[in-house]
Amino acid sequence: MAKRTIIDPITRIEGHLRIEVEVNGGKVTEALSSGTLFRGFEIIVKNRDPRDAGLFTQRICGVCTHVHYDASIRAVENAVKVLPPRNARLVRNLIKGAQYIQDHIIHFYILHGLDWVDVTKVLQADPGKTHDLAMAVGSTYNAGKARFSAVKQRVENLVKSGQLGPFANGYWGHPEYKVPPEAVLLIVSHYLDALEVQRLGGQIMAILGGKEPHTQGLVVGGVTCVRDILDPKRLGEVIFRFKKLKEFVETAYIPDLLLAGKVYRDYGLKNIGAGHKNYLSYGDFPLSDDFDRKNMFFPAGVILNGNLSKVIPFDPDKISEHVKHSWYKYPDENKGLHPKDGITEPNYTGLNPDGTCKEKEKYSWVKAPRYDDKPMEVGPLARVLVAYASGNKEIQELVNGALKAVDLPPSALFSTLGRTAARGLETLYIANNVEKWFGELITNLKNNDETFTPYDLPKEAYGYGLIEAPRGALGHWVSIKNHKIEHYQCIVPSTWNFSPKDAKEQRGACEQALIGSPCHSSEKPLEVLRTVHSFDPCLACAIHVARR
């Protein structure tokens, strides 16, 4: 007999999300994703100076602040037809690279790790055997029997105190937790390390971007930091932090990821959490001064139906947003609108009296973006698959090496496990390259300290900024009239991933990924949370004044 289960709110995310699933025979047969907070940033920036838009829109989120700043700046640059100089391009790549590494470390350990690891098993672990395991798998960061004994004692003290803090209210003891005690102790020790290490990424962003969160070092036409970058002390502070981040990624994150991957191989073999297998990447981290989308560190492209033999060129004109099941008004709710023509007019009709979603009506503040009328998944898995299928040798080596280590075929990437793995692999990909970008910046600064390109603000203009945020494809669209913002729209990664159904009743990426997922207990839907968290939801970004 089918049973409805509502998880509201979803915790360990940014923003307000509820997931409603129908479970029948131990599997999810229906899934509805509902964003539950409206914010209206597109309305807030209207009639303001377009050069100030980035400072407002980065307040959309308290986590991925810089990327909204970047996308907004790029949208206005596209409108006024200006390109920042090389130094500015490199500084922007470094700031965003630091955010990626920081963000992904936080996600794996702090937000997602407890879906895979039963922290209470630490109490059963042998610190000596944990040390042996760490040496065997290369997970050597801050490893030592004394360290593992101290972590075990720390967890025991929490349990005895009855104040479990972040470990409270978990589904501890759930039969779908498979990681053995010694591996749990190893990963939990790195959970604690990650709380400290992730700060290094924020510090790099503050050094290069003026402050963090909400960096202030970008302007239309370039960046504001010049002479401070040339200071030897500043240079040392940045490079030291990048090296420490890379060390953690190489000796904790990746080994722990592979260790967990071996335990949960079935997720890959059975393609649990695969979804539509449609993937979209805008491409980002420009490698040339003309910002050519064909020359990006992460290439642009589209993959349909999991076909890795063909990467379809990305066309921004094929993006549209639908609102048939979203709490907004459109002239014709059976047709989508391109974001340059998008409308943000709230139309809240509520849920059913029993609190369930009106699945045949409106049930979310999130709109439903589509590419060429197809639902798309965006994020690390999309970026890695597009790069892999495009022939990126470095990505191919990382992916093939990881698949070999856990004895899985490439098709296993179409899964919740693959989504989680891709996030870690792209973290290593970035960590392997940021020092090279930094060296390029230093070399160029010795001959040219230009960080800004002058421009004139036109009376009327239209532009868009399409970038890749840690969580996926992010777009800002701006129309300027009488030197002010006349129209503004954002489509963020979680709008793509957590959209409701569209006018054709096609589910959003997460909704579809949940269909067929096992669910051992409707009262403890751990497996549902695994797949939801694998997308790293950011609903603060996706929904943009609460009303009750």
**Catalytic position from the list 189, 479, 494, 517:** 494
**Catalytic position from the list 18, 68, 107, 544:** 68
Active site residue 541: yes
* Closest by CA position to 125, among listed 194, 189, 171, 193: 189
* Closest by CA position to 250, among listed 137, 408, 171: 137
Q: Is 159 exposed, middle or buried (0-12, 13-18, 19+ CB in 10 A)?
A: middle
* Closest by CA position to 348, among listed 363, 368, 360: 363
The token pair at 453 is 């390109």
Residue pointed to by tokens 């950011």: 538
CA atoms of 399 and 405, how far apart (whole Å) = 10
**Catalytic position from the list 225, 490, 510, 541:** 541
Handedness of CA 372, 374, 380, 383 (dihedral sign): negative
- Write the CA distances from 205 to 231, 234, 336, integer angstroms: 16, 12, 37
Active site residue 225: no
Handedness of CA 124, 129, 133, 135 (dihedral sign): positive
**Catalytic position from the list 33, 39, 42, 64:** 64
CA atoms of 166 and 153, how far apart (whole Å) = 17
* Closest by CA position to 527, among listed 124, 8, 171: 171
**Catalytic position from the list 61, 225, 357, 510:** 61
CA atoms of 216 and 52, how far apart (whole Å) = 11
Contacts of 137 (CB under 8 A, 6+ apart): 255, 258, 259
**Catalytic position from the list 225, 357, 519, 538:** 538
Q: What is the DSSP string of 445-463?
A: HHH----B------SEEEE
Active site residue 510: no
**Catalytic position from the list 92, 471, 533, 544:** 471
CA atoms of 432 and 430, how far apart (whole Å) = 5
From start to end of 419-526, where are the E strands?
460-469, 472-481, 484-491
Active site residue 89: no
Active site residue 357: no
Backbone torsions φ then ψ of 70, nearest 5 degrees:
-60, -50
CA atoms of 251 and 199, how far apart (whole Å) = 18
Mind telling me the catalytic residues?
Answer: 14, 61, 64, 68, 471, 494, 538, 541
